[in-house]
Structure 1
């Protein structure tokens, strides 16, 4: 894999002002921006920013951000799946995971999440990848949004659909442990049948157990 990354940017106007949605960005560019203090869904903001800088340094890593002036108010990450997850077991060069997407609470509802996904897919080299995301309801900000699990799931699915990711079935035990959890996938248009077959074997490992 040549890990080509083509920078794209788009302006997005919302009720909260004008935002730049851009990326993938190298760590050297990210460091020039401030990171919104409320981006704490995964870990404290300062640590999360460090984690993003680390991902940006990886050959396959991609970070796209939504920023107002010099403040990053949202981001999305793409990288190889966690070695502890089944998705890494095929050692597939062309399978990457949308690991995290987060928008600071005060800027939610302005479709910045959708824009991050749309700008991500403006890069033609994404057609060389199977992109997956695993959604677990226990990561969702149900308290902050006041949404039920199912309402949140609907919002999340719509957002992922904006980037061309669709629901796929799997027998992964963590995903199967709750009906709101799901696997969403976008198969690039240059992915060969053999890779799709390999991916299907990762999705269904227990197929022959019955």
Structure 2
């Protein structure tokens, strides 16, 4: 499977001679030269998360799309194969990739960075030969920081993913089924073969009666 990694870059003005650079997929050596904003701590401490991003960027299929002010990372999106302990890795599909973490530092929220980073990831049909999925779990959501309830946050995440053509898919995955706000969203690239789509259907449903 060809993993297309053509660097894309955009600029976003913040006024007062300040600007953000949105770019990716970023090479691991370039990523290692940057630093993480101290507020990027939703998943790990910023330094630990920085190390994790560099590791993901070094994977054959891994890609990091980020927003930075100067050399400071203020937001990022990760893409990688599913964890081998999760059902989504069943069968070792090389054209199934997970849109994993999305995080934006508090001071930079409200200017659509999440949406713009995801759109950049799909630019120039880089992912048209992949099935891209994301698993949304309410316990990962920043309900306190955003002051949204679980259904408002779910709607926000749906709109974010729909911006690049991702749609809701059914599944019998126990974690997703454990709460009605959780969901699986997917985009099947136009170059993905039917055999991969059928394989993904078998991964989504392990109980035959749910087809």
Under a length normalisation based on structure 2, what TM-score does the superposition of the two structures give?
A: 0.95
Deviations 1:45-97 (A, max 9, x none): 11011000000110000001011122110000000001011000121010000
Quote the Cα distance in structure 2 between the aligned partners of 1:123 and 1:88.
27
Quote the Cα distance in structure 2 between the aligned partners of 1:49 and 1:20.
18
Q: CA deviation at 1:12?
A: 2.4
Quote the Cα distance in structure 2 between the aligned partners of 1:58 and 1:123.
21
Quote the Cα distance in structure 2 between the aligned partners of 1:27 and 1:171.
36
5+ residue gaps in structure 2?
A: none
Partner of 2:150: 149
Quote the Cα distance in structure 1 between the aligned partners of 2:206 and 2:15.
46
Q: Secondary structure at the match of 2:209?
A: coil
Structure 1 residue 75 and structure 2 residue 76: aligned?
yes
5+ residue gaps in structure 1?
A: none
Q: CA deviation at 1:106?
A: 1.4
Quote the Cα distance in structure 2 between the aligned partners of 1:60 and 1:193.
21
Partner of 1:11: 11
Matched length:
210
Quote the Cα distance in structure 2 between the aligned partners of 1:165 and 1:14.
29
Q: CA deviation at 1:187?
A: 0.6
Quote the Cα distance in structure 2 between the aligned partners of 1:147 and 1:95.
31
Partner of 1:21: 22
Alpha-carbon contact 1:130-1:186 (below 8 Å) kept: yes
Alpha-carbon contact 2:172-2:210 (below 8 Å) kept: no
Q: CA deviation at 1:13?
A: 3.4
Q: Aligned-residue CA RMSD in angstroms?
A: 1.6
Quote the Cα distance in structure 2 between the aligned partners of 1:46 and 1:117.
23
Mean Cα displacement is larger for which, 174-183 or 5-14? Answer: 5-14
Alpha-carbon contact 1:120-1:163 (below 8 Å) kept: no
Alpha-carbon contact 1:117-1:163 (below 8 Å) kept: yes
Alpha-carbon contact 2:12-2:19 (below 8 Å) kept: yes
Structure having greater relative contact order (Cα 8 Å, sep ≥ 6):
1
